[in-house]
Chains A and B, each alone.
Chain A
Amino acid sequence: MFTLDAVKVHFSTNPDFVLSRIHIGDEVISVTGLKSLINFPQSVHLLREPLLALEPFTVQKLVEMGQELPASSDRIIDEILNGMLIAVHDATDVCISIIPVPQSLSRSISNPLTENNVRGSSSAFNEDIDTNLGLLRKHVNSSELQINHYSCGSMTKNTVTLCFLNQSIDPNLLHSITQLLESGANSDLSTLKDLSKLFKFPLLTLVSSYLVSELPQTASRALKDGKVVIFIERLPFAIILPSLISDMFMTEDDLNHPMIYSVLLRSLRVIGALMTLMAPGLYVAIVSVNPDVLRFELAHTIAISRLDVPYPAIIEALLLLLILELIMEAIIRLPSSIGPTVTMVGGIVLGEAVVQAKLVSSLLIIVLAAVTIANATVVGFQNSYLIRLLKYLLLFLSALFGVTGLLAGIVIICAYLSSLTTLGVPYLQLKQPKGE
């Protein structure tokens, strides 16, 4: 009984702590837990019913209903915090933890919020790690699927789950990942940044070393390709390691289309990425450094459209790009009911007015609108950040060196991408992550 007293003292200031006693015949059982995590009445009912039905009461029967715990108060506190129901037989001090009826704190499985897919299954991961694992198991029905639990953090405990397919994973990759995870038992792990820190990913990288996805099908494809899927409790997505360049252009959804279309769709995304990168730079290069590249008719038209613009092309492009970036950021922040208003004001009113006022050339508006649209074709939100940023590098270089600068920028980007590695796996691969 004295173990429970210590627990009671520990939780004394917590209003959601419940300690109640139930009587079965002559026996008294103390039941305790956190009512914010446990649906208490139902759980107690669930405990009492079978015990009443199975008179006479023996300790053995109580033990069979859950898992027996050593009578240490620390252990009991841990279990209570994990959301378990603790029952203690007062007479013998036998202590068990029982899986209760939980409070429903997670949303039900719903549609993906940040990723759309046309033909694949449209259930998405959510905050509950067990739900996520269940979804994954449904998608990968295989005895090869191995799931390891790690409990990380010293102050706050958080569960991290590592999933992989024994058959397809590269043992070296698996070894380095498990070692890193085990070494991080004491560090807090609740955000992606913590994870990056744990895996020692470079701080200033432009390309994230992992892919984040809400879709169980993407996760299952990654497993089959020999990658690793990590779930962190309360993060509503799977973290796929390592990420490859193909993640930018291929989705699992493509495979549900006929071959020709999936190939065309993928090439469309490549074109979109290239266009986003190059179009603003090309505009600046052609307008201010190398007008000879264009045909005469086009050059003349552009010259007319830029007639009264008072500053160089690079400033013009930067101004408009800034406004576009602001619009994109504003739309995320605003509630979806006001979003369209911003789009309209930004896109139509501002765009029209800016041309009327002869502050930017109308061609630039067309170019940048095309770029913004093309930017969105890339798969994965964090990947679109990458090309959104890199296009500025090309923009500056083009302003300096014209078409040559554009080329130089592309080569620099290529050099950057090809030098990237994640846990010894080069970024520049299409499917199977292999070592160097």
Chain B
Amino acid sequence: MKPILVAAALSLLLLTGCWDNKDINHRALPIAMGIGYKNGDYTVYLDIPKVSASEKGIEVYSEHGKSINEAIDLISMNLESQVDLLHLKVIVVDKPFALHGLEEGIASIIRSRYIAPKTVFVICDQPLDRFFKRIDDSSNDGKSIYDFFQKDAGWSPQIAFTQVWKIFRSVHSYTNDVVLPIIKAGDTTILESTGSAIMKNGVMVGRLTNEQTLLYNVFNGDNLMGKIEVMNHATVQIVSNRLRCRGRFQQGKPILKSTLYLKVIIVDTTGNPSTEKIKTELKILVTDRFNEIFKIVRRDKADIFGLGQHFRDDFSRKELSQWREKYLPQLQIELDVKTVVRNTGNLKSP
């Protein structure tokens, strides 16, 4: 009992201190951060939704610095409230930064522990000042950029979805690379997706289009309700997808046998194609598109599918560390697509 009283008295005394605990309304909670890079100089933009009962909207602040943290500190200093990055949801970087390499930036984000590792990472296709100006001008409640990448809100399967921790993994892992979405300010909508960037060890080395990104997402096992067009004859919607892979070695060369199981719904047809025809067309389309991507992968030596994962058992760690450079260009993939047309919508199948 006495210790409780003592503790209560002590806490009352200490309440005067409270270690600069700032109440939530005295903290600025940025939702998106932009990082621009130019010759070793960082420009940081913070997109902070207005905390006000009457007016909605956002405020964008920017500052330069030798490091990301320095720039953030500068903003925090000049702002009437303290910047609290824990609720940051999206980090936008400009293309020069992505081409230069994100490794250091990612490392400092992970180290600083003020930014959650599940923050989404995005590359912006245009200069950041123009991008943020567009967002600032469009009268919205400031969360649009966050909703755009929310899986249960505005996200759609043509857009890559990669968090900070995945990039961090890609920087260090032998067999895993990532794809980052590329966006720019849209003409009619606020944001517009313009494909995605292939990141190898945190450096942007190539690009995928929106359609290719969709297939990438399918391949990576994200369950999505994406639409895909089939030649000129039909449009189908993928309702479930499953990928099965088996890696083996033949004459010192890695071979991956993959089977993609798709379940689709026919959404639209032109002419009167039979279900069989749609299936074969879908197969040709998917295989072609996959080969396209795979060509890029081999060229850039960036293992965005994590293909090396299937060979972990066949390599020693030393060999595995050479996976991207030595084995990935030799890899052969036999892709088989098996499709089930689950239903044909309200109309009977032709």
Direct contact of A and B (CB under 8 A): yes
Chain B interface, number of residues (Cβ within 8 angstroms): 29
Q: CA–CA, A292 to B53, complex, Å?
A: 21
B8 touches A291 (CB 8 A): no
Residues of A within 8 A of B347 (CB): none
Among the listed B53, B89, B116, B146, which residue makes an inter-chain contact with A304, where contact means beta carbons less than 8 Å apart? B53
A306 touches B86 (CB 8 A): no
Residues of B within 8 A of A299 (CB): 24, 29, 87
* Binary flags per residue of A89-107, CB closer than 8 Å to B gives 1, else 0: 0000000000000000000
Q: Which residues 239-293 of A have a CB within 8 angstroms of B?
A: 286-289, 291-292
* Binary flags per residue of A293-331, CB closer than 8 Å to B gives 1, else 0: 000110110111011010011100000000000000000
For B23, B31, B143, the residue with the greatest tally of chain A CB atoms inside 10 Å of its CB is B23
Residues of B within 8 A of A292 (CB): 84, 86-87, 116
For B15, B21, B24, the residue with the greatest tally of chain A CB atoms inside 10 Å of its CB is B24
With CB as the reference atom, state the residue of chain A lying closest to B23.
A288
Q: CA–CA, A392 to B5, complex, Å?
A: 11
B87 touches A392 (CB 8 A): no
Q: CA–CA, A303 to B48, complex, Å?
A: 13
Quick one: given A304-B51, A304-B52, A393-B7, are A288 and B1 in contact (CB under 8 Å)? no
A205 beta carbon closer than 8 Å to chain B: yes
Quick one: given A288-B21, A397-B11, are A296 and B4 in contact (CB under 8 Å)? no
Q: CA–CA, A306 to B18, complex, Å?
A: 19
Q: CA–CA, A309 to B26, complex, Å?
A: 11
Residues of B within 8 A of A288 (CB): 18, 21-24
B157 beta carbon closer than 8 Å to chain A: no
Residues of B within 8 A of A202 (CB): 1
Among the listed A304, A393, A400, A412, which residue makes an inter-chain contact with B15, where contact means beta carbons less than 8 Å apart? A400
With CB as the reference atom, state the residue of chain A lying closest to B86.
A292
With CB as the reference atom, state the residue of chain A lying closest to B17.
A400
A412 touches B11 (CB 8 A): no
A393 touches B8 (CB 8 A): yes
With CB as the reference atom, state the residue of chain A lying closest to B81.
A303
Q: Which residues 119-172 of A have a CB within 8 angstroms of B?
A: none
Q: Which residues 1-44 of B have a CB within 8 angstroms of A?
A: 1-2, 4, 7-8, 11-12, 14-15, 18, 21-25, 27, 29, 31
A237 beta carbon closer than 8 Å to chain B: no
With CB as the reference atom, state the residue of chain A lying closest to B22.
A288
- Chain B nearest CB from A307 CB (Å) reads 6
B22 touches A412 (CB 8 A): no
Among the listed A287, A302, A393, which residue makes an inter-chain contact with B4, where contact means beta carbons less than 8 Å apart? A393
B49 beta carbon closer than 8 Å to chain A: yes
Q: CA–CA, A369 to B143, complex, Å?
A: 31
Q: CA–CA, A296 to B89, complex, Å?
A: 9
Q: CA–CA, A286 to B87, complex, Å?
A: 13
Among the listed A296, A297, A312, A400, which residue makes an inter-chain contact with B11, where contact means beta carbons less than 8 Å apart? A400
B1 touches A205 (CB 8 A): yes
- Chain A nearest CB from B17 CB (Å) reads 8
Quick one: given A306-B25, A312-B23, are A291 and B84 in contact (CB under 8 Å)? yes
Quick one: given A292-B87, A400-B15, are A412 and B25 in contact (CB under 8 Å)? no
Determine the interface band of chain A, counting residues with CB < 8 A from chain B.
Answer: 20 to 34
With CB as the reference atom, state the residue of chain A lying closest to B11.
A396
B86 touches A412 (CB 8 A): no
A296 touches B25 (CB 8 A): no
Q: CA–CA, A312 to B22, complex, Å?
A: 8
Quick one: given A292-B86, A296-B146, are A306 and B53 in contact (CB under 8 Å)? no
Residues of A within 8 A of B29 (CB): 291, 296, 299-300, 303
With CB as the reference atom, state the residue of chain B lying closest to A398.
B11
A416 beta carbon closer than 8 Å to chain B: yes
- Chain A nearest CB from B23 CB (Å) reads 5
With CB as the reference atom, state the residue of chain A lying closest to B5.
A204
A287 touches B86 (CB 8 A): no
Among the listed B2, B8, B49, which residue makes an inter-chain contact with A396, where contact means beta carbons less than 8 Å apart? B8
Quick one: given A296-B29, A396-B11, A412-B7, are A287 and B87 in contact (CB under 8 Å)? no
Residues of B within 8 A of A396 (CB): 8, 11-12, 15
Residues of A within 8 A of B89 (CB): 296
Q: Which residues 138-194 of B have a CB within 8 angstroms of A?
A: 143, 146
A402 beta carbon closer than 8 Å to chain B: yes
Known A304-B52, A396-B15; further 9 A-B contacts with Cβ < 8 A: A206-B4, A296-B29, A296-B143, A300-B51, A304-B51, A307-B25, A400-B18, A412-B4, A412-B7
20 contacts between A and B (CB under 8 A): A204-B1, A288-B22, A288-B23, A292-B84, A292-B87, A292-B116, A297-B143, A299-B29, A303-B27, A304-B53, A309-B25, A312-B18, A312-B21, A313-B23, A396-B8, A396-B12, A396-B15, A397-B7, A400-B14, A400-B18
Complex A-B, nearest 4 residue pairs according to Cβ-Cβ distance, in ascending order: A292-B86, A396-B11, A306-B25, A204-B1
